[in-house]
Structure 1
Amino acid sequence: MNTTRRPGRHRPPGGANPIAELAVIARESAQPAMKGAAILAAAGGLVSTLAPPAEAESQSTASANAPAVTGPPATTWASGQTAVQATTVPSALTSIGFTRPRPGPRSAAAKVITDVIAEKEQQAAQRAVDAKREAQSRASRDLTRRSLTKTTGTSKGASNPAPSASNPTPSASNPTPSASNAAPSATAGGRSPYNWGSAGQCTWGVLNKWYQSEGYYPGGWTGNALVWGTRAANAGYTVSGTPRTRSIVVMQPGVHGSSSAGHLGWVTAVNGDRVTIIEMNALAGPFNYNTRTVTDISGMRYIYAP
């Protein structure tokens, strides 16, 4: 007898092979989404076909005695067959060649080995470099201080000479030097670990110049520029009406264009009654320095650096 094999899923009785049918479905599905849906549907039908039937009584007894299982509910396909739970799907797909990639073992975190000896040597070298820089900065400040003091003494002596044969009688225009005409000795006051002036203003600018010259910030008072003379004296610093280098000049409101809050400058040179200052937030505006020479007049006092 000749048996005609027709294309499709029609097979002679007893000739069905579920695994072969799954492979055919997977191969003939054109789109990945259709392929996955067809495989899941066929897998559900396959498991339902292979599962042995159970009596209603035995099923109810097994359900009563079986432990509770949590998981997604079963899905019913259009064919009326119940699909397997999601936890059994991967094993069914594996039987036709589909495998779920497994993550590889996690690589251990790389350990950083620190050379303690080398690290200590680097720290010691850095400390030596810092100490050398500090010594150079201190030497530079001392040299500048001696130079400014010498220049100031020479200028004051030239502008205010002692009586001589050519000038025997002192006059109001050329007085004899005296203790009242000389700058008093300076005393040290409080210190601050930081620049406490208002950023960009004259207060911040003069404190920065003081630090560059002396290596520390003066402290012990606060307030606008016009009160610095009185408050610096209360903090222990020498405040005088005689101009001197390495000092902060305090100008009252209106003096040389000062605002209602007063103004401050760092004195770099004195020649008679002509005082050269470096100031911030004046001619150059906030955060910028400029240099100018002004005349020492009433309303100007000087806070000496010791």
Structure 2
Amino acid sequence: MNHETTRGRHRAPGRHNPLNELKLLARESAQPAMKGAAVVAATGGLVATFANPASADTVSSANGAVAAAGVEAAPAAVGPAAAAATTTAPSALSKIGFAPAVQQAIAKRTPTKVRVIEDVQVKEQRAAAKAAKAAKKAAQKAAAEREASQRASRDLTRRSLTKSTSSSKSSSNDYTPSASSGSHSSRNWATRGQCTWGALNKWYQSEGYYPGGWAGNAMAWASGAASAGYTVSGTPRARSILVMQPGVHGSSSVGHVGWVTAVNGNEVTIVEMNALAGAYNYNTRTLTDQGGMRYIYAP
């Protein structure tokens, strides 16, 4: 029995070789673009090309045939398309990160405004220092105002006292327009605790000095002061020493003296020691002027 071998897709039993069959299909295909599709379809999706490289004439004639038939030529199955871009040769500046285009873009940027961030702690410290300075200044001003007020008050009091004393002297001197000044003493020469010592002490407090130039008991003071140069009168007047003879208004056998503080008609107010309050103590009395009473005027 004769077996006839027929070319095509019939394979002889026991002699199948996939590689040979792929080579045969690729060689018999007339279109280079169809070779890749035939290979992929025959191998179940495996991408491999075992076809012999086509010559330039074959590729050129095949592409022309595809274009004539109205079919777009497929790109090559293997290998990337040739890049048309031109690569710039690297320079020494580009190796250290300097790119002219980048630097130009940076130079064209709009400058960003600087924002000043406040230090809250420093701000609070400055505010506290300012407040402390203002408080100190206010305290100094208040102290100065108090001092000025106190000074003005003292001046007013001094003027009032001076005016009052002047008025008192003027009104009291209405009785005697002139009062002579006699001898002065540097100390209180009377016996301490007695009426004489108390009268001299009040004179010193009013006039600033002690009268002097006489001595003796209270009853002899009027004549002694007149001899020392002082004005002595029977008319009562403030700022004078009242001399009372024994028995007048309860005076002792040696007489009694006191300092006259006010006169109202024939009523005489005196401050006296060693009388109603006893030795070393003062008391005040108002007496009616009468005989046996003389007054030593302070100038």
Q: Which bin holds the TM-score, normalised by the shorter protein? A: 0.3 to 0.5
Larger radius of gyration: 2
Give me the TM-score of the superposition, normalised by structure 2. 0.45
Give me the TM-score of the superposition, normalised by structure 1. 0.44
